Structure 1
């Protein structure tokens, strides 16, 4: 649950308004899949189970996933997380001092309803204008992301993405063959794969979501290399 809370806060800082559980799970899946391929559906199921008051304990069987989540929370391992995380977190709710009675508030709202609605609409319009012009955007163009101007139609169609420097610089689609360097010298994966909407296998230079299907890319394996890339 702490991992979901952290990724939700990070998404909100990037400009995502009220990130859903699915969006948070997708981001966590990308993070975990750097070391161990794991679907957002599984992470979301564990999160829902943790929210269930009838569930006494939630246990993720894959040690790699537990380690990746602990590292994401800036802990060396799960033991350190347990040692430094309190069992119960107390939340203090500040006391609100009322200077106006409820009856006075209701009368004020009734008398000024129209004015308040107009002010609210204007405020939303101004904030929306400032937000969409402040935020930087990017879109996928065949083999890589490029920075573009805001386009409401593209945003509604899901084409426009929030600008990420790392995606612009490091996320590319490549043609993989026998000469491709699939792993670094230390053995760490540096090529990920996923299928196009038409079922064509495609290769990318970084982890993340497929730019067209939105599905989580998988880290390359020796089996996939021998069967598809370099038979």
Structure 2
């Protein structure tokens, strides 16, 4: 179950964040989830996150990277859309029970086909109905729920709104901290880096003009992932570092 959790976790980072490299996914795990979202600085190193990826995703069995910490498992499960790891684990209980039931039936020679047919006949309508209900809920959940997770851009910041608003996007996809995320104009008295870590991100609008923001996220016009500022970018903007 731990391996499946970790594989699902890194796969979602690759899909949702557009990060393909092992190191890039490890940096996102440590910097964006543990540090920025949960305030857990230096909880694990990027190197350890990389080893976790190598061991469980790339099957490097000789790599030592056990994940026994309940908090780390909860963070991964939460990113996958579950309350915690226990909630993630329980989501597979139904499938396990069905497998056990089928195994018991197959153990009875001469009765397996008949009994299995009866069980499937009784369960298929329920399963189909459940699948349809879940599918409809997934499609329309942001519209149906009062506390939807959609946001819309307002001048220099994101605002939480119902998902039927024009130009709204689902923050369940982008995971933007809207309390911190603002568009700003750089000035020379800003602290661009803290302990060598960037305090601002940048991206180009639809006209190709570079714009700056106070947190990780996507550009509100293009929805492309922002990049952290560098000394080179600052120099090109007329802010040479001393």
**Per the shorter chain, which TM-score range?**
0.5 to 0.7
Figure out how many residues of one structure are paired with residues of the other and give that number: 173
Give the CA deviation at 1:178.
2.6
Give the CA deviation at 1:195.
0.6
Give the CA deviation at 1:144.
0.4
Q: Report 1 or 2 for greater relative contact order, CA contacts < 8 Å, sequence distance ≥ 6.
A: 1
The answer to whether residue 160 in structure 2 is matched with residue 147 in structure 1 is yes
How much is the aligned-residue C-alpha RMSD, in angstroms?
A: 4.3
Give the CA deviation at 1:104.
2.5
Taking structure 1 as reference, are residues 3 and 202 closer, same or farther at Cα in structure 2, changes over 3 Å only? Answer: farther
Are the counterparts in 2 of residues 194 and 218 from structure 1 also a CA contact under 8 Å? yes
Alignment of 1:1-231 (within 5 A): 5-6=8-9, 21-23=14-16, 25-26=17-18, 40=19, 42-43=20-21, 65=24, 68=27, 71=30, 75-76=44-45, 78=47, 81=52, 82-85=63-66, 95-98=99-102, 101-105=115-119, 132-133=144-145, 134-151=147-164, 154=166, 159-162=168-171, 167-184=177-194, 186-230=195-239
**Unaligned runs of at least 5 residues, structure 2:** 35-42, 53-62, 68-95, 106-113
Are the counterparts in 2 of residues 178 and 230 from structure 1 also a CA contact under 8 Å? yes
SS at match of 1:97: helix
Q: Give CA-to-partner distance per residue, 1:201-227, whole Å, 9 cap, x none.
A: 000011222222122211112221121
Give the CA deviation at 1:188.
2.4
For 1:70 and 1:136, the matched residues in 2 are separated by 21
Are the counterparts in 2 of residues 145 and 168 from structure 1 also a CA contact under 8 Å? yes
TM-score by length of 1: 0.54
Taking structure 1 as reference, are residues 229 and 106 closer, same or farther at Cα in structure 2, changes over 3 Å only? Answer: same
Q: Paired residue for 1:51?
A: none
Give the CA deviation at 1:130.
6.1
Are the counterparts in 2 of residues 70 and 78 from structure 1 also a CA contact under 8 Å? no
SS at match of 1:169: coil
Give the CA deviation at 1:128.
6.3
For 2:25 and 2:130, the matched residues in 1 are separated by 48
Taking structure 1 as reference, are residues 104 and 22 closer, same or farther at Cα in structure 2, changes over 3 Å only? Answer: same
TM-score by length of 2: 0.52
Give the CA deviation at 1:97.
1.7
Taking structure 1 as reference, are residues 229 and 217 closer, same or farther at Cα in structure 2, changes over 3 Å only? Answer: farther
Q: Paired residue for 1:31?
A: none
Taking structure 1 as reference, are residues 139 and 119 closer, same or farther at Cα in structure 2, changes over 3 Å only? Answer: same
Taking structure 1 as reference, are residues 146 and 222 closer, same or farther at Cα in structure 2, changes over 3 Å only? Answer: same
Taking structure 1 as reference, are residues 102 and 219 closer, same or farther at Cα in structure 2, changes over 3 Å only? Answer: same
For 2:227 and 2:178, the matched residues in 1 are separated by 20
Decide which moves more: 200-209 or 136-145: 136-145
